[in-house]
Amino acid sequence: MTAPGKDPDFARADAVAGLAREVDGLRRTIDPLRDVGGRVDDLGRLVGQLTDAVAALSKRPAATPAPSWLLLPTDPVLVEQLLGELCAWLHAVFLRYPDGVTALPECWLHHPDVVEELLWLMHAWCAAYQGKGASVQLAGDWHDRQRPGVVRRIRQNAGSCSIERHQTRPDWEQYPTGAVPVPGAETVGAIAGWWAAHRDDPAPEPAAPHAGCTTNGAPHR
């Protein structure tokens, strides 16, 4: 028996409508969860990538610090050895570039800032080409940014200087033309002694070219 005043069809329709509302509410709750599986997969891939990156960084060798010309120990032997290595590298690498030849003044050894620039550039080249972490990226950065930057600063700070500005001898002779030697290499010994023990005093007066030697040991004539 149906309760008085209640239409059986209306009661059933009302119940169905209520059930439909509940189903719709459940669907709205569940729908956002459908993407959780994909998001978990994405998160897993990201964690894996981060793990690989951290592992690669931990395997990368520590950077080798470059010696600073401005803070070298007061050891003439060490200073001269470092200058010898730098001169050899300049002859083999830096002076292969025409802008390096034109930018480097022959009095470069009398400019501590220029020596400092060239030292770190040499070590940057060694790291890019010969170090355990050598890579195409480091070599590209050396060519594209580091070397041009050093050349630009040397030209700006010392490019207009000359050996005559560091000496007073009236009979000064110029370097002969021909193959490009490392300018001023014959003064390495004098500069090393000055910088190692008397760097706060004026630099020694440069010797005449015929008194020194080129980088291959042949005297200037």
The mean per-residue pLDDT over the stretch 104-117 comes to 93
Q: Where are the alpha helices (DSSP H) in 74-187?
A: 76-92, 98-103, 112-129, 136-141, 147-158
Q: How far apart are CA 140 and CA 142, in angstroms?
A: 5
Q: What is the pLDDT of residues 125-171, one digit of tens each?
A: 999 999 888 999 999 999 999 999 999 999 999 988 888 777 766 66
Per-residue pLDDT reduced to its tens digit, 52-67: 665 654 554 555 677 8
Q: Which pLDDT value is given to residue 209?
A: 54
Residue 175 has pLDDT above 60, yes or no: no
* Residues 104, 154 contacting (CB under 8 angstroms): yes
Residue in 113, 102, 116 with CA at minimum distance from that of residue 151: 102
> Residue 2's pLDDT band (boundaries 50, 70, 90)?
very low
This prediction's pTM:
0.58
Nearest Cα residue to 203 out of 187, 183, 214: 187
